[in-house]
Structure 1
Amino acid sequence: MANSAAQVKTKDGVPLGAAYWKLWISSGLSNLADGVFKIALPLMAIQLTQSPTLIAGLTVAATLPWLLFALTAGALADRLDRRKLMLWANLSRAVLPALLIAVILLDLGSIWALYVVALMVGVAETLYDTSAQSILPQVVNKDQLSRANGRLYAVELTANQFIGPPLGGLLIGIGVVAGFALPSALWLAAVGGLLLLPGSFRVEREQKTTLRFDIGEGLKFLWNQKILRTLALMTGILNFASSAAFAVLVLFAVGPASEMRLSEVGFGLLLTASAIGAFIGSFIAESVEAKLGRSKSLALTILGCALFVGGPALTSNPYVLGPILFVGGLLIVLWNVITVSLRQRIAPNRLLGRVNSAYRLLAWGTMPLGAAAGGLLAQWLGLQAMFGIMGTLTLALMVLMSILTDRAITAAEAA
């Protein structure tokens, strides 16, 4: 458990505490690195190939660890100090772009080198993200989780989607070395921020168990919680559709032969629209949740996400697509704040890492599958047809909203 100094009072409006803000700063630096890196990779990739399948394969490589390694990452987050896991994950992510720079300078760069680095960064991400979501209830109390998650999403999405993509596009325009040097330096700075976070964040264990037993316990808990199980399935379908769409969006948007005819910098600015929406959403999510209730808020999010994913099927005009991405970004944050806070309230701390990882196996493990499907459908049917299919799939999730009533959600929290 964390030291008592890391805890804060439960009364609404009381400051979240120094430990929380150190975590917040480190998270901002880490997500800025990720935002630059995730735009630098595909922009470098399209210099090597114009194949939708190969470009989508980059997203497959980056997200495959959530399918293969998520459960192990969750078990480790419940066995080891969560702060130290985050620290080592970021240190690994700092080294990998530096290695890629060396490969580029030696004129050995290829799409396969990008695949390897994307895969290894993805493995580190599973450890970091699982530990980061699991550590928060050790830093703030449960009645502050919606506010704490909202503020974290503000800095994460601002850095990851608002500042990172246009900055990454600008740096790749200058040179690929610049595009990968900055994220390496930022991940190192995030390591420094974590070193300032006081206390121990290892969960006390009553008995020694095997890793296999630990993973099974987390899976069993998630499966027996109908609300969490349904949300994991729905998030998995949302991520499948969005991963399919955004894995090949760069081909739809960038270059004189594309539908949108944007430059690399213009592409980064287009993605900024969703980040602005996400930034605003992170501050209003708590009040929207309170005013509409969680069930209506989640239903509204599905409608917005269907438009968010399917928008490019309707228009290639950046001045129309930009506002669509803005609304989608705002509503995606609303979904995330509600669902993450629910997991943190329902799952006991000793199981939280494993429940988070089991949830993400369903919720994020679909991303490489979606990216592969998006690349293949775009190759066979065309880009805009693929966007339309994924928007329709997202809209179909409204059928499952009959399970997610406010009464059922409240009962799950009480239990």
Structure 2
Amino acid sequence: MKIHLGGLWRKPDFMKLWTGQMISEFGSRITREGLPYAAVLVLAASPAELGFLTALAALPVLLVGLIAGVLVDRVKRRPVMIWCDIGRFLLVGSIPVAALFGLLTMWQLYVVALLVGVFTIFFEVASQSYLPSLVERENIVEGNSKLGASSSLAEIGGPPLAGVLVQTLTAPLAIAFDAISYLFSALGVGLIRKPETKSISAHHEFNFWREVREGLAIVLSNPYLRPLAINSAISNFFGSFIGTFYVYYAVNDLKLEPGILGFIIGLGGIGALLGTLLATPMLKRLGLGNSLLVALFLGKLVPFLIPLAGGSPWLVIVCMALPQLLGDATLMVFLIHSTSLCQSVVPDRLLGRANASMQFLIGAISPIGPLVAGFLGSWLGVRLTLLIALVGMLLGSLAVIFSPLRTLREFPALQQETSDDSHASYADN
């Protein structure tokens, strides 16, 4: 019996990209778990040092997010991805090398966390901007679904794999697997044979601030992208409340054992993987607007079970497990469709800046969230703070409800630019 694979399964260039990124995603999960292990087990880091390490890893989106968008729109995207992978290979690979010679310090971890974050921002902006030129328009949702599946599988298998490697090899040596994974990603992207056609404005002299404003404007003025950015920014802000107190609340208030809590959190990866499988069927059956709304509301209503959890131990487990499973599934559907929408409506020459502007607008106020959460948690208690966070996230949905998004049946046609925006093209042979 022959198995017939359709869609992007039969596109060798996309499969090279997908395979490399899947390996890289697993490696990144090892480093995400391994860096704190290295800091604590090898360098005896204090809580303050761990907090600083985490903050540095999150800082690049604010420092270079908009810069990445401008530069990615001025150069070929595939080489950017390759060089970012090589840069991350060298940075992450320096950790096991330093550890072998007894030279590892917290300062090195700080530098690696910050610079890897910078390279990751550039890679993600370039990757999201490159996908539409690699696959046909009708395959964008499938492409984003498959790339999302890579992340979901890594979320399921990465942390356990990291734990085993750290326990058997020590944290610094386990991180070596992540360094090698970036080489596989670079190899996958480098083997792509489809020429990359890139358009640059023929009369557009470089002006950094003008191009930053142009990228922000394409998001803030677009009737489809603006509500998505507003909703996601509000959701990220209030969602950081949940991230701040989730483990504390589960262990101290609900008395969940770490092993059970780890299993519950792992269901989030399974849910996200389920979401990658549901994205295309929901789009075909419900249409784009209804699919976005269903995913949005389910993803924000189910988590209300978290602050309402109580009663028997089994009921508590169910109340904490369903938001991980169903919430992450619907969130993945929403992310796939919203990312595909951005890639569909933004002209190629602006796509890097549009993706970077979305990341910047969504992440700009997120660092304030944990500070507000800490204040409210001390004043009102953790359970009530979680409830406030979920109400805030739900209110963010109003931006989508009262927007043209709800009426969309399919992805809008790409808006053609005027003759003033004539472009010169070149191909990456």
TM-score under structure 1 length normalisation = 0.83
**Aligned: 1:351 with 2:346:** no
Partners of 1:165 and 1:354 in 2: CA distance: 33
What is the CA distance between 1:156 and its match in structure 2?
2.6
Partners of 2:293 and 2:282 in 1: CA distance: 12
**Given that residues 241 and 373 in structure 2 are in contact (C-alpha distance below 8 angstroms), is that contact kept between their aligned partners in structure 1?**
yes
Q: Structure 2 counterpart of 1:403, which letter?
A: S
* Higher Rg of the two aligned structures: 2
Q: 2:147 aligns with which of 127, 148, 152?
A: 152
**Aligned: 1:90 with 2:90:** no
What is the CA distance between 1:291 and its match in structure 2?
1.9
**Given that residues 134 and 194 in structure 2 are in contact (C-alpha distance below 8 angstroms), is that contact kept between their aligned partners in structure 1?**
no
Q: Structure 2 counterpart of 1:301, which letter?
A: A
**Aligned: 1:138 with 2:133:** yes
Structure 1 stretches of 4+ moved >6 Å: none
Q: Structure 1 counterpart of 2:203, which letter?
A: Q
Q: Where does 1:377-396 land on structure 2 (aligned, <5 Å)?
A: 383-396=382-395
Return 236-245 or 132-141, whichever deviates more. 236-245
Instruction: Please list the CA deviations of residues 176-197 of structure 1 after superposition, one character each: whole Å capped at 9, or x if unmatched.
Output: 2244222122122212222211
Q: Structure 2 counterpart of 1:76, which letter?
A: L
**Given that residues 231 and 397 in structure 2 are in contact (C-alpha distance below 8 angstroms), is that contact kept between their aligned partners in structure 1?**
no
Change (3 A) 1:85 1:309: farther
Q: 1:20 aligns with which of 14, 23, 33?
A: 14
Change (3 A) 1:44 1:108: closer
Instruction: Please list the CA deviations of residues 156-202 of structure 1 after superposition, one character each: whole Å capped at 9, or x if unmatched.
Output: 3212x111122223333443224422212212221222221124436
Which residue of structure 1 aligns with residue 313 of structure 2? none
SS in 2 for 1:80: coil
Mark the runs of 5 or more structure 2 residues left unpaired by the alignment. Answer: 1-5, 311-315, 416-429
Q: Where does 1:234-249 land on structure 2 (aligned, <5 Å)?
A: 234-247=231-244, 249=246
Change (3 A) 1:327 1:201: same
SS in 2 for 1:204: strand
Which residue of structure 1 aligns with residue 419 of structure 2? none
**Given that residues 36 and 179 in structure 1 are in contact (C-alpha distance below 8 angstroms), is that contact kept between their aligned partners in structure 2?**
yes
Mark the runs of 5 or more structure 1 residues left unpaired by the alignment. Answer: 1-11
Partners of 2:7 and 2:218 in 1: CA distance: 32
What is the CA distance between 1:98 and its match in structure 2?
2.8
Which residue of structure 2 aligns with residue 262 of structure 1? 258
Q: Where does 1:166-315 land on structure 2 (aligned, <5 Å)?
A: 166-174=160-168, 175-201=170-196, 203-205=198-200, 206-210=202-206, 211-247=208-244, 249=246, 259-262=255-258, 269-306=263-300, 312-315=306-309
**Aligned: 1:324 with 2:323:** yes
**Given that residues 169 and 267 in structure 1 are in contact (C-alpha distance below 8 angstroms), is that contact kept between their aligned partners in structure 2?**
no
SS in 2 for 1:20: helix
Which residue of structure 2 aligns with residue 74 of structure 1? 69
Partners of 1:338 and 1:54 in 2: CA distance: 38
**Given that residues 347 and 414 in structure 2 are in contact (C-alpha distance below 8 angstroms), is that contact kept between their aligned partners in structure 1?**
no
Partners of 1:356 and 1:374 in 2: CA distance: 28
Q: Structure 2 counterpart of 1:238, which letter?
A: S
Return 297-306 or 21-30, whichever deviates more. 297-306
Instruction: Please list the CA deviations of residues 321-376 of structure 1 after superposition, one character each: whole Å capped at 9, or x if unmatched.
Output: 23320111111111011101111110011111111111111123344333554456
**Given that residues 271 and 326 in structure 2 are in contact (C-alpha distance below 8 angstroms), is that contact kept between their aligned partners in structure 1?**
yes
SS in 2 for 1:225: coil
Partners of 2:11 and 2:195 in 1: CA distance: 16
What is the CA distance between 1:234 and its match in structure 2?
1.0
The root-mean-square deviation of aligned C-alpha atoms, in Å, is 3.2
Change (3 A) 1:231 1:245: same
Which residue of structure 2 aligns with residue 4 of structure 1? none
Partners of 1:59 and 1:30 in 2: CA distance: 20
Change (3 A) 1:77 1:20: same
**Given that residues 27 and 181 in structure 2 are in contact (C-alpha distance below 8 angstroms), is that contact kept between their aligned partners in structure 1?**
yes
What is the CA distance between 1:389 and its match in structure 2?
3.0
SS in 2 for 1:79: coil
Change (3 A) 1:346 1:367: same
Change (3 A) 1:15 1:221: same
Partners of 1:330 and 1:290 in 2: CA distance: 17
Return 390-399 or 74-83, whichever deviates more. 390-399
Change (3 A) 1:387 1:182: farther
**Given that residues 341 and 411 in structure 2 are in contact (C-alpha distance below 8 angstroms), is that contact kept between their aligned partners in structure 1?**
no
**Aligned: 1:37 with 2:31:** yes
**Given that residues 253 and 262 in structure 1 are in contact (C-alpha distance below 8 angstroms), is that contact kept between their aligned partners in structure 2?**
no
**Given that residues 309 and 387 in structure 1 are in contact (C-alpha distance below 8 angstroms), is that contact kept between their aligned partners in structure 2?**
no
Partners of 1:395 and 1:88 in 2: CA distance: 40
Which residue of structure 2 aligns with residue 8 of structure 1? none
What is the CA distance between 1:261 and its match in structure 2?
3.2
**Given that residues 9 and 15 in structure 2 are in contact (C-alpha distance below 8 angstroms), is that contact kept between their aligned partners in structure 1?**
no
Q: Structure 2 counterpart of 1:294, which letter?
A: L
Return 318-327 or 284-293, whichever deviates more. 318-327
What is the CA distance between 1:81 and its match in structure 2?
1.7
Change (3 A) 1:32 1:202: farther
Partners of 2:303 and 2:114 in 1: CA distance: 24
- Number of aligned pairs? 398
**Aligned: 1:335 with 2:331:** no
Instruction: Please list the CA deviations of residues 107-153 of structure 1 after superposition, one character each: whole Å capped at 9, or x if unmatched.
Output: 7544x654443222211111010011111111111121112211221
